[in-house]
Amino acid sequence: NCVRGLLSPLMSNIVLNELDKELEARSHRFVRYCDDCSIYVKSENSATRVLSTITEFIEKKLKLKVNRTKSKVSRPIDSTLLGFSFYRREKVWAARIASKSLRKIKEKMKAQTQRKAPGKVKDKIKKLEAIIVGWVNYFRIATAKSRMEELDRWVRTRLRMGIWKQWKRPSTRWKNLKRLGINEGKAYEWSNSRKGYCRIANSAILHRALNNDYFTKQGYVGFANHYYWKTTHQTKLF
């Protein structure tokens, strides 16, 4: 496997330059980054033949070993490349974010939003934003508006859980709910609730108290807004 550093892609480009030339000579459409290469043909028979001949070229001509467990023939809809998967829309193929990439970003977000983690909400959001900006910039070419919105909802739920945990005592929760616009009766009822963190975080009361505007004021821009600015908004500007 290739280490995604500065040197590894450079070395791969040097070593595999002959492979690029061979694929171009055969008029194959392909994408290669480092040692990760996808070749696109029109039929399964062609794909099987190309897999066999290119494997032979790499092993016999370039004297490199092909990872046969990872090398396979598949439809674009069933394959991934550099974190992207593909789907067909009105006879045109388009990119979307692969499920594995979504799981990985959730793991990163989860590590930054642990309920037991100390610190102010603004500080946590600042760290989240640094991750979000880079991630969205990478996946901006994908069709991903709904995915970005889903991630925002999930992150806000995680943040609500953390805030509820930090408030700890019923008296603190009651005061904060009142301060955030919840009437005294409902504030008392929910501050003494025995429901779990997830249920509280998804409740209508906490959505009213800790709404999207609250997190915006704390510095949360989010996946969807960054994605909009990188796609629709920038397209309109130029």
Select the more confidently predicted residue: 10 or 101.
Answer: 101
Q: What are 178-198's pLDDT values in tens digits? A: 999 999 999 999 999 999 999
Contact 164/201 with Cβ under 8 angstroms? yes
Which candidate, 81, 25, 31, 34, places its Cα nearest to that of 57? 25
Span 207-232, pLDDT tens digits: 999 999 999 999 999 999 999 999 98
- Name the percent of the chain in helix, strand, coil, to the closest 5: 60, 10, 30
Positive or negative, the CA dihedral 122, 155, 213, 190 is negative
Structural domain spans, the chain: 7-73, 99-237
38-72 b/e with 16+ CB inside 10 Å = b?
Answer: bbebeeeeebeebbeebeebbeeeeeeebeeeeee
Q: Does position 59 have pLDDT exceeding 60, yes or no?
A: yes
Question: How sure is the predictor about 8, in pLDDT bands with cuts at 50, 70 and 90?
Answer: low
d(CA 27, CA 160): 54
**Measured between alpha carbons, how far is 232 from 230 in angstroms, rounded to an integer?**
7
Measured CA angle at 183 (ends 181, 189), to 5 deg: 120
Q: What is the distance between the alpha carbons of residues 102 and 142, in angstroms, rounded to a whole number?
A: 13
Write the pLDDT tens digit of every residue in 121-170.
999 999 999 999 999 999 999 999 999 999 999 999 999 999 999 999 99
- According to the model, what pLDDT value does residue 89 have? 84
Residue 9 pLDDT grade (very low, low, confident, very high; cuts 50, 70, 90):
low
Whether residue 84 contacts residue 95, with contact meaning beta carbons closer than 8 Å, is answered with yes
**pLDDT computed for residue 178 by the predictor:** 98
Radius of gyration of the chain (CA): 24
